[in-house]
A and B are shown apart, each in its own frame.
Chain A
Amino acid sequence: MIETTGANPAALTVSNVKQRLAKRAKMLAAIRYYFDQQQMLEVDTPLLSDYPVTDPQLDNIKVENPTVNYQSTSQPWLYLTTSPEYAMKQLLSLGSGSIYQISKSFRQDAPGPKHSIEFTLLEWYRVGFKMTDLIDDVTALLMALMPTSLMANGVEILSYREAFLRHLSIDPFILTAKQLEDFAHQNIDCDFTDQDKDIWLDLLMSHCIEPNLGQQTPCFLIDYPASQAALAKIAHDQQGNLVAKRFELYIEGIELANGYEELTDHDQHVDRFEQDNQRRGELDLPVQAVDQHFLKALKSGLPECAGVALGVDRLLLLAAS
């Protein structure tokens, strides 16, 4: 599916090259127009990083560092970035103000109809924004980019808890890992066991809930369990549950964007990176060095902000359907 969006020359033919490239170029121009109108600065950060990411669910593609023999400080490997997040946050900490970027990202994902190891990401950060401001911002961008029929009914904002209640009639915050495991085994054919509650939430989310999201109108799924906060702020919801101030945007069951009210505190970042590496150890994954440039930026002070990454190839796919 992703192959049809014009990013891969090998998937283009003489008969479709002009049409597909024109669609892509028009989309990129419309994105830039939207941000230019709001005096947002476009930035262009490195694709090669000295450090990998610690997130246990993400794996960098690494490349040999050709400068390793010339500079004693060089590491043997460089890492293709999984998103421009750390580099952009360094710019924010230096006082760049709100910024956006359209760039390639790389992930060691299994390829599939909605996954490619190389893809185009639109990522932006708004200084002073809360999660709800950013949802409004993403909605305005969609209005500018997507067919009017898609946006005719506005957008839906649904909490993680409400999504589970609606589609599975269970409360993900109340049930224990064991109860979720039993529930999953009753509803999905699988044999594995796990004591990690998030595994069961992820399984139920991906198999039973996600396919239903955004079918009528684009859906922002918000207030994730705190254990899935990644680098988002954590707060209490109305039920008193600890939730991550994070959202994912779904259109027609496809995850299109992932946004955070950004964690800014240095020490909390260090804690989360440690948790990531601990989890990596449990999963027999390599423990990753923490990005020192990013930590330094956090120490000097990341402004309060909200940021989101949006898959441009998927956006093109959805705009065409």
Chain B
Amino acid sequence: MATYSTNEFKNGLKLIIDGDPCNIVENEVVKPGKGQAFNRVRLKNLKTGRAWEKTFKSGESVEAADVMDTDMEYLYCDGEFWYFMDPISFEQIPASLEAVADAKLFLKEQDSCVVTLWNGAPLTVSPPNFVELEVVETDPGLKGDTAQGGTKPATLSTGAVVRVPLFIDQGEVLKIDTRTGEYVSRA
């Protein structure tokens, strides 16, 4: 079992806490006057997203989490799993709904995604910051209405619903910011 000592703690280090993989968000060494030093660490649970503060006695060892980010190509979904391929080894791995979570709304076949693997299995999936997706359903576009004016909902090929300007028509391809889920422009 690989471990890290508190003197190796730094932002971004991955640890196993209570069985879950966690990321160090902030590490502060606290020392009262002349006494024992402690590491007060802000952690984020990579499975649940929960962030909290935990204290370690300096010198303590903590189990390392075998977590790494890999670039993988999204292939398809069979209704239960989302399949990703390592572009170098061509190895294919399935990701569960739990791992894909909200990213499923922005997964387009052949797009390169960052898949965070824990012990080789997908933990989280991050789509590219911008994706281009087709509008499959929206109210008819209003001619003459350009940049100004209101917005309307549009359903994209992935099932995501985003607010788009009134002039957008069904069948158009749009550029979407996946971090905010917002329309950016026509592609």
Contacts and interface: CB of A to CB of B under 8 A. Distances in A.
Interface of A: 55, 57-58, 109-110, 112, 115, 188-192, 194, 198-199, 201-203, 205-207, 210, 228, 230, 248, 255, 258, 283
A194 B33 CA distance: 20
A285 to B, nearest CB: 9
A84 B11 CA distance: 35
A169 to B, nearest CB: 19
Contacts of B33: 205, 248, 255, 258
Nearest to B59: A283
Interface in B49-79: 52-60
Interface stretch (B34-42, B110-118, B135-143, B153-161): B34-42
Contact of A230 (B28, B34, B52, B53): B34
Interface of B: 7, 28-38, 40, 52-60
B56 A112 contact: no
Given A203-B55, A248-B33, 14 more contacts: A110-B58, A112-B29, A189-B55, A190-B55, A199-B57, A202-B35, A203-B36, A203-B38, A205-B33, A206-B32, A206-B35, A207-B30, A207-B55, A258-B34
A309 B30 CA distance: 20
A109 B7 CA distance: 10
Residue of B34, B40, B57, B60 most packed against chain A (CB within 10 A): B34
B36 A199 contact: yes
A57 B34 contact: yes
18 contacts: A55-B34, A57-B35, A110-B29, A110-B58, A190-B55, A190-B56, A191-B56, A194-B57, A199-B36, A199-B57, A203-B57, A205-B35, A206-B32, A206-B35, A207-B55, A210-B32, A248-B33, A258-B34
